[in-house]
Structure 1
Amino acid sequence: MKQILVTGATGNVGEYVTRHLKARSYPFKAAVTDVDRAIAKMGPTYPFVAFDFENPATYAEALRDVDRLFLVRPPHLGNPKKEMFPFLEAAFEAGVKHVVFLSLIGAQSNNLSPHRKIEKFLEKKGVPYTFLRASFFMQNLTTTHKSEIEEGELFIPAGNGLTSFIDARDIAEVATVTLINPGHEFKAYDLTGPEALAYQQVADVLTRTLGRKIQHIDPSIPEWIKHWRARGASWDYIMVLTAIYTTARLGFAGRVSEDLQKVLGRPAVPFERFAAEHRNVWAIKQPASPSAAL
């Protein structure tokens, strides 16, 4: 039986895709740039294979006996033609017959985005594809904005714009279903949560969940840039985040889709449930009490 190759196998979505496939005993390979680090994170029972989009020497082993591909664009690769298309050409030559691509909601309307460039490449090739156009991950609040929330703030320049946040676990389940079941070829799914929230509403949910005040602060762009530069972020990273939140501020991130429910037969996870399940991630570590013996 042919296998599925999962790129980004330890990432926000890819990790859950690999876990779904393993739970189903479905044959797959988990492509990672550092096998030892992947084992340290997820354990030794996953079929990790060393892979790097920018290193053609890693292609052959990763693609051996593979006929389906879960494709994730690494955030640092901004030039798909140079950095990803050579791998995709190799994948098609090796016999890949279906690509499930983790894209971005609204990509079809943004020809300059790397996601749309990849979509257009796959469309032109004519190999069966499924585009998962995902909204903003809830998990970004447990990673990118974790320290801010621990400090009692949600420092995001999105104004009152709405965002249809989605749980990455939901995306992964849709990816798994579209990889292993027929009927999803040449389709694009807009994947969102069940509601659109302003960041003040997100802060209010976190306040109730954590039992302490979380305040949304809507900084100016210069204040926002200064904030992230002080934290050591690169200009490229800051510009990507700024573009994302500007999209929300302008009202383009709030559309709610029912595509996920059509694929999975259930509604998407609401943010309130996600927050409750992840409350310990934002817990403030208390300093150790002085020893009574001192």
Structure 2
Amino acid sequence: MKRILVTGATGNVGEYVLRHLKARSYPFNAAVPDVEQAKAKMGPLFPFVEFDFERPETHAAALQDVDRLFLVRPAHLNNPRKEIFPFLHAAQEAGVKQVVFLSLIGAQHNPLSPHRKIEQHLEKMGMPYTFLRASFFMQNLTTFHKGEIEEGQLFIPAGQHHTALIDARDIAEVATVSLIQPGHEYKAYDLTGPEALDYQQVADVLSSTLGRRIQHIDPSFPEWVRHWKGRGASWEHIMTLTAIYTTARLGFGSKPREDLSNVLGRPAVSFERFAAEHRSSWAIKREGSLSAST
């Protein structure tokens, strides 16, 4: 049996794709820039291979015996023509028959975004593709926004607009099904959670879950950038999340879609469930806690 190459293998979605494939006993390569670092994070049980989009000398070994590819664009790569397209052509020449690409909801409406440029290139190449156009990851709240939530704030420039947040675990399961089952070629799936929330509602769920008040702060985009540069965030992460929040302001991720439930045969994970399951991700402060009746 040919193998599946998983890029972004230690990321929010990629890690769960690995776990799904391993549980199903499908052969795969877990592509990472630093094998030893990946083993230190996730243990020695996954078949990690050295891979870097910007180092063509790593491509051939990673693609050996591979016929399907899970493609994740690293946030710091913003020139797909230079940094991603050469690898896609190498993958096609190596015999890859399908690319499942983790894209962004609303990408088809923004031809200047790296996600849409990659989609368009895959369309032109003629290689079977599946686009997973995902909404805002719930996991961003346990990583990028973790510190501010612990301080009692959710600092997100989305106005009063709604977003159907999605659990990365759900995206990974759709990716896995798209990779191992037929019928998903030349499809584009809009992946969202089951409900559209504004970010004060998100903060309210966190307040109830954590037992203390979390308040949504709605900054302008310049204030948002200054805030995160002051906290030491990289430009790549700031720009990636700015693109996501721009889609929220434009309403692209505001409506729950049925694609996920159609593929998986079950509803998406709700944010209330996610928050309860990840309660320990946010430090609990004793002072100013809410009463049980609040």
Report the TM range for the smaller structure's normalisation.
Answer: over 0.9
Instruction: Report the equivalent of 1:136.
Output: 136
**Which stretches in structure 2 are left out of the alignment for 5+ residues?**
287-294
**What's the CA shift for 1:220?**
2.8
Deviates more, 1:222-231 or 1:5-14: 222-231
Which residue pairs with 1:64 in the alignment? 64
Cα separation, partners in 2 of 1:29 and 1:243, compared to 1, 3 Å = closer
Residues in 2 aligned to 1:236 and 1:172: alpha-carbon distance in whole angstroms = 23
TM-score where L is the length of structure 2: 0.94
1:243, CA displacement in angstroms? 3.4
> Aligned letter for 1:283?
A
Cα drift, residue 229 of structure 1: 1.7
SS at 2:280 equivalent? helix
In structure 2, what is the equivalent of residue 262 of structure 1? Answer: 262
Q: What count of residue pairs does the alignment treat as equivalent?
A: 286
Post-superposition offset of 1:157: 1.5
The aligned runs of 1:108-257 (5 Å cut-off) are: 108-257=108-257
Could you report, residue by residue, the CA deviation over 1:140-178 in whole angstroms, capped at 9, with x for unpaired residues?
000000000011110112110101100000000000001
C-alpha distance in 1 between matches for 2:281 and 2:25: 30
Q: Report the Cα distance in structure 1 between the residues aligned to 2:60 and 2:119, rounded to whole angstroms.
A: 23
Instruction: Tell me whether 1:282 sits opposite 2:278 in the alignment.
Output: no
**Aligned residue for 1:11?**
11
Deviations 1:207-256 (A, max 9, x none): 00001111111123333222112112244543433333233234332021
3-state SS of 2:31 partner: strand
CA distance in 2, matches of 1:124, 1:220: 38
Q: Is the 8 A contact 2:75 2:236 kept in 1?
A: no
Partner of 2:30: 30
What RMSD in Å do the two structures reach over aligned CA positions? 1.3
User: What percent identity do the matched residue pairs reach?
Assistant: 78
Query: Which amino acid counterpart does residue 47 of structure 1 have in structure 2?
Result: P
Deviation at 1:108, TM superposition (A): 1.1
Provide the rounded CA distance (Å) in 1 between the counterparts of 2:75 and 2:215. 29
Name the TM-score, length of structure 1 as normaliser.
Answer: 0.94
The residue aligned with 1:273 is 273
Structure whose alpha-carbon radius of gyration is higher: 1
Aligned amino acid, residue 34 of structure 1: D
